[in-house]
Structure 1
Amino acid sequence: MTTFVKGHGTENDFVLLDDPEGTLDLTPELIRHLADRRAGLGADGVIRVVRSAAAGQDAAGEWFMDYWNSDGSAAEMCGNGSRVFVAHLLRRGWITLGDGDEVAITTRGGVLPVSRRGDLFSIDLGAWQVAGGPAAVTAGGDVTVTFPGMPPLPGLSVALSNPHVVVVLPDVATLEALDLTVPPVVEPAPPHGTNVEIVVPMHDQSIQNELGHLRMRVHERGSGETRSCGTGTVAAAIAARAWGGDLAPDHWRVDVPGGTLYVDAEGTSSEGDSAKLTGPAVIVAEGELVDVVVS
C-alpha cells in the first residue's frame, strides 16, 4: 500500500508519495500518470518522501525530497514543494519543528535548511549568482526571450538550485495578456532547459525602499505555466535587485497568481551566499494509491 497526500504552496500543487524505506518503483510513466489532471490525481509535480539513506543519498538531511516535474523529468528541487514537503513530514510526525526551529532536507540541489515561522515556512536556498556576472547586469541581460506575438526581450539568467531566466515587462496589462500556453524561446538555448519568470515592478523605483514589490508569472520547464514557482520568485527578486543597483532592497514581496511569497537575498548585485524564500504550505487531501506496483 502506498499512501499519498495532495498539497500546495501558493497553488503550486504536488502529489507527495510516502516511501520512507525506498521501496516504491518510481518511473517517468508513473509520474506522468499521477500528475495528469484527468486520468490521475493532478499536480505540477510529484514528490517521493523517502529517507536519504534509503534513496542512496549520503547527506546530512535525514529526509530526501525526490522531486519530479509533471512530464516525468527529475528536477534539482522545488521551493514551494520543499515547504509542503516539510509540512507533510511534520503532519506525519516524522519530524518535530517548533516555531523558529530548523530542519535540514536533502535535495538534488544540495542539503537545504527549512525553518518554521508561525504558520509559514522559510527555506534558505543557499548560494546564487547571476550567470553572466556584472557584465550581464550592466547589459540588462545575457539571453533573449521570445513570447508569441512579441519581439525578443532581454532576459537575465540566474543560477539558483534550478536554472532561471527573468524578463521584465512595463505594466501589468502586458503581463496578464502574455501567452504562456507554449514555452518561451530562450536564445542561446540553455542545455538543460530553464524556468522563465516574467515580472512587473510594483514599488516606487525612484527612492530607497525597505521592501521591493513584484508581480510575476512563470513558465516552468517540464510543467508549463504554473500558479507559482518558489525558486522562480527568488530568482525574480535577485534579478530585480540586480537591475535596481545600489538603491534596490534586500527584501521583496512577490505576488503570483496563486498568492504571495517573500524573499530575502544577500550579496552583491551578481552573487550571494544566501537567498531565503518564505510562504505558506497547505495539505488538502490524503489517500491510498491502488494501482502502483511496490517492489
Structure 2
Amino acid sequence: MQIRFTKMQGAGNDFVVLDETQGRLGLTPAHYRYLADRHFGVGADQILTVRRPTADATAQGIDFEYVIHNADGGEVEQCGNGSRCFARYVRDKGLTDKDTIRVQTLSGVIAPRLTPDGRVTVDMGRPVLEPARVPFDTTGLQPVAQGSGQKWPLTLDLPAQPATVLVAVVSMGNPHAVQLVEDVDTAPVAIWGPLVERHVRFPQRVNAGFMQVVSRSHVRLRVFERGTGETLACGTGACAAVAAGIRLGLLDNEVHVDMRGGRLTIAWTGQDTDTLYMTGPATTVFEGQIDIPDHL
C-alpha cells in the first residue's frame, strides 16, 4: 500500500505524521515498525496519526484525536514533542485555522497553542506524582523525602553486581522515572536506561530520565524512552524532570531544559491543582510517499 507522510521534528525528536482525517489507513503494529525503521522505512522515534474526533468528543469541544505509536509498534499515551508537531501540522495543512486546539489523546485532553515566534506552547495537564497512578509498585520500599517530594530506591540488575539508584516517579500521561546525575554526558544511559525502562516495579514500563541540575532555572537532560531507546529529546520527559525537580526543591517555576536535540522551556507552579506548560519548536523536515508491504 502507498502512504503519504510528513516528516517532522521537535528539538531533534523526530516523527512520521499521518493524516487519517479522511479515513483510517488500517495499519498494524508491524506497519508502524516499518515506517519507523531508519534503514527500510522513513525513520522516526514515533508515528503520529491525526484523526477527527468522535461526535461526542466534538460536542465537548475537541478538535482532533492524536494517536501515537512508538518505534516498536506499540501505542502509547502521550508524546510532548509530538504534540507540538501535531499542532504545527494541522495548522500548516489547513485542517484548522485556530491558534489553540483541543486534542484528545489516549491519556486525556491537551491544548497546544501556536505562538507568534513560531514555537508551540502545550498545556500538558497536571503532573501525577502518586506512585500508584504512575503506575509504580512501592511494595516493601521506603521513600527518601526531599523538599515536598520523594525519591524511591530502585535496584538495578547490573552484570557485575546489583546497584540501587534513587528515582522520582511522575506521570505526564505516560510514566517517567527521573534520577539526578552529576553530568549527563557521562551518565550510563545506555546501560541503566533499559534496566529502568523494563523494571518489574513499572507494570507499563517507564521512560528513564537522567537530569543534571545546572542552576535553579536550567537543567540538562537525557531520556531513554520506553519502546524507542534514547532520543535526542523527550517532551514529556522534560516536563516530568522539571516537575520532579520543583517538588524536590531544586528548581524554580520556569526552567530551560537542554537536551541533545535542543531546548524546551517548562513552567509549573508546583501546585497539584495547576497545569504544566511546555514551549518549544516544531519543524517540518520533508514530505513524501512510501510503499509499505501489505503483509508484514
* Map of 1:102 onto structure 2: 100
C-alpha distance after superposition, 1:196-215 (max 9, x if no partner): 11000001xxxxx5xx1100
Match of residue 130 from structure 1: 129
Partner of 2:268: 265
Q: Counterpart in 1 of 2:137?
A: none
The residue type paired with residue 242 of structure 2 is: A
What's the offset of the Cα at 1:170?
1.9
What is the aligned partner in structure 1 of residue 190 from structure 2? 179
Shift of 1:102: 1.4
Q: What are the equivalent positions in structure 2 for 1:23-34 lying under 5 Å apart? A: 23-34=24-35
Could you tell me which residue of structure 2 aligns to residue 191 of structure 1?
203
Identity score, percent: 32
Quickly say closer, same or farther: Cα 1:59–1:225, change in 2 above 3 A.
farther
- Residue aligning to 1:254: 257
Q: Which residue number in structure 2 is paired with residue 120 of structure 1? A: 119
The corresponding residue for 2:180 is 168
Paired with 1:24 and 1:66, the residues of 2 have a C-alpha distance of 13
Q: Which runs of 5+ in 2 are unaligned?
A: 133-141
User: 1: distance between equivalents of 2:92 and 2:55?
Assistant: 21
Partners of 1:199 and 1:215 within 8 A in 2: yes
The counterpart of 2:228, out of the listed 205, 223, 241, is 223
Per-residue CA distance 1:272-294 (angstroms, 9 max, x = gap)? 4301111000101111233365x
CA distance in structure 1 between the partners assigned to 2:157 and 2:97 by the alignment = 45
Q: Distance in 2 between matches of 1:57 and 1:163?
A: 28
- Going from structure 1 to structure 2, the CA distance change for 1:16 and 1:104 (only over 3 Å counts) comes to same
Q: Deviations over 1:127-173 (max 9, x none)?
A: 2122249x957164124164857832100100211111100012345
Task: Calculate the TM-score normalised by the size of structure 2.
Answer: 0.85
Is 1:91 equivalent to 2:128 in the alignment? no
Q: Distance in 1 between matches of 2:290 and 2:82?
A: 20
The 1:60/1:146 distance shift into structure 2, 3 A limit, reads farther
SS at match of 2:176: strand
Change in Cα spacing, 1:115 to 1:292, as seen in structure 2 (3 Å) is farther
Whichever residue aligns with residue 125 of structure 1, its letter is M
2-structure distance, mates of 1:65, 1:251: 27
Give 1:206's aligned residue.
Answer: none
CA gap of 1:145–1:220, structure 2 versus 1, over 3 A, is farther
Compare 232-241 and 259-268 and name the one that shifted more.
259-268
Deviation at 1:181, TM superposition (A): 8.3
* 1:261 partner amino acid: L
Q: How many correspondences in the alignment? A: 277
Alignment partner, residue 201 of structure 1: 213
Quick check: 2:151–2:167 contact (8 Å CA) kept in 1? Answer: yes
C-alpha contact 1:145 1:155 (8 A) present in aligned 2: no
How far residue 266 of structure 1 moved from its aligned partner, in angstroms, is 2.2
SS state at 1:158 partner: strand
Q: Which amino acid aligns with 2:196?
A: V
How much is the aligned-residue C-alpha RMSD, in angstroms? 2.6
Amino acid at match of 1:184: L
What is the identity, as a one-letter code, of the residue corresponding to 1:25?
A: G
Instruction: Tell whether 2:109 aligns with 1:111.
Output: yes
- Given that residues 207 and 237 in structure 2 are in contact (C-alpha distance below 8 angstroms), is that contact kept between their aligned partners in structure 1? yes
Which amino acid is the alignment partner of residue 209 of structure 2? E
Contact kept in structure 2, 1:265 and 1:272, CA below 8 Å: no
Instruction: Tell me if the contact between 1:218 and 1:226 (Cα under 8 Å) persists in the aligned partners.
Output: yes
Distance of 1:178 and 1:69 partners within structure 2:
19
1:237 to 222, 242, 246: 242
Q: Secondary structure at the match of 1:81?
A: helix
Do 1:141 and 1:156's aligned partners in 2 also have CA atoms closer than 8 Å? yes
Q: Which runs of 5+ in 1 are unaligned?
A: 204-208
190-199 or 177-186, which deviates more: 177-186
